[in-house]
Amino acid sequence: MSLEGLTEDESKVYDALLTEYSLYVKKLEATKRKLAASIADTPDRFAADFHTPEELLQMRLGRSADSIRGGMLESLADRLARLNFGPVERVIVSGGADRDECQKMKCPQSYVSGERKTVLWTRYSNESIVTEAAKLVQFITEDRSHRIGTRLWAAKLEEARARVRQAPREKRPKKHIFDLYTADASVGYGEMKAGGNLDNTKARVEVTEMVKAALALDTGYERLRFFIAYANNGEGKSIAGMLPEYFEPGHLLVGRQLWAQLLPDSVSVDRFEQLRAAAAAAARRQTNDAAQADS
């Protein structure tokens, strides 16, 4: 597609895509070199009986690429959210934690883009949070009609929050990390995965971590979300895996639903797909040009 005549919002979205894609390609190329060296230095004699070094490289690269791509998509979502809704505080202080003390502690860095994730620091009892989160998730698994987003689950959340706030507080703040956090009620905050095809054990772990953070916050359940970057069964279909069992539909934003919420109103999801394809092609060209210049 031609990049001439882009609107201001389209240019900003394209720049965000190009930045993240360029970082992704660089990370992928560096990983490829590292894996190739590893295969040469420490050959797997059992795998070598059946696979060439090139096949082994592709097998290992595929596993690494999944992780790198997941980090890139989280960072892209965060970048678009800040573009659309404005910057959000990267460190949230709650539960009597001292702000100055918390800000001296380094926020974890996204290993793909270097963008900071949002960290909640709180002195609310970590033991109480862990206990109450486990109970809330168990409440869902015992009866799937009590999923996140229902009034009954919301009432249970508020009861659990009250118990957390009555428990003795920590001497030092504890942290909870949000993959994506916005101050916008339609998007909210929570965990994010690339495809979201999680078995019951993994889904339960991810949901529990999200509920722990929700217990430490003082906001309503309405903003609690799980974000999925793409629909692994195709748009308009329920995603594969167990995650849908834990959420009412409005609390699980998948694929086009997610990007539609994050994009400026003037940029449609279809236009976003065009900009995405153009940014991906440009990122690959930049990599190829750099490789030819080094050769």
Query: How high is the pLDDT of residue 153?
Result: 93
Residue 198 contacts residue 242 (beta carbons within 8 Å): yes
- Asked if 110 and 76 touch (Cβ cutoff 8 Å), the reply is no
- Examine the pLDDT at 111 and tell me if it is beyond 50: no
Which tokens hold the place of 233? 């069964």
What pLDDT shows up at residue 2? Answer: 64
Structure tokens at 137: 């998730």
b (16+ CB within 10 A) / e for 120-153: bbbbbbbebbebbbeebbebbeeeeebbbbbeeb
* pLDDT band at 108; cut points 50, 70, 90: low
* pLDDT, position 104: 72
What is d(CA 164, CA 130) in angstroms, rounded to the nearest whole number?
A: 10
Of 74-78, 79-83, 235-239, where does mean pLDDT reach its minimum? 235-239
62: exposed, middle or buried (C-beta count within 10 Å: 0-12, 13-18, 19+)?
Answer: exposed
How far is Cα 273 from Cα 268, in angstroms, rounded to an integer? 9
Distances, alpha carbon 270 to alpha carbons 73, 264, 277, in Å: 18, 13, 11
DSSP letters of 172-222?
A: S-EEEEESEE-S-TTT-EEEEESS----HHHHHHHHHHHHHHHHHS-S-GG
Instruction: List pLDDT tens digits, range 152-210.
Output: 999 999 999 999 999 999 988 888 888 888 888 888 899 998 887 888 889 999 999 99
How far apart are alpha carbons 147 and 248 in whole angstroms? 6
Task: Tell me how far apart the alpha carbons of residues 228 and 246 are, in angstroms, rounded to a whole number.
Answer: 14
pLDDT band (50, 70, 90) for residue 116: low
For the chain, the structural domain boundaries read 8-294
pTM score of the predicted model: 0.85
Q: What is the pLDDT of residue 288?
A: 78
Q: Which two tokens stand for residue 185?
A: 């009620």
pLDDT at residue 15, as a whole number: 95
Report the pLDDT value the prediction gives residue 6, as an integer from 0 to 100.
92
pLDDT, one tens digit per residue, over 241-283 is: 888 899 998 899 999 999 999 999 999 999 999 999 999 999 9
Residue 59 has pLDDT above 90, yes or no: no
| pLDDT above 90 coverage of the chain, percent | 39
| Tens digits of residue pLDDT in 90-101 | 788 888 888 777
Query: b or e along 231-241 (b: 16 or more beta carbons within 10 Å of the residue's beta carbon)?
Result: bbeeeeeebeb
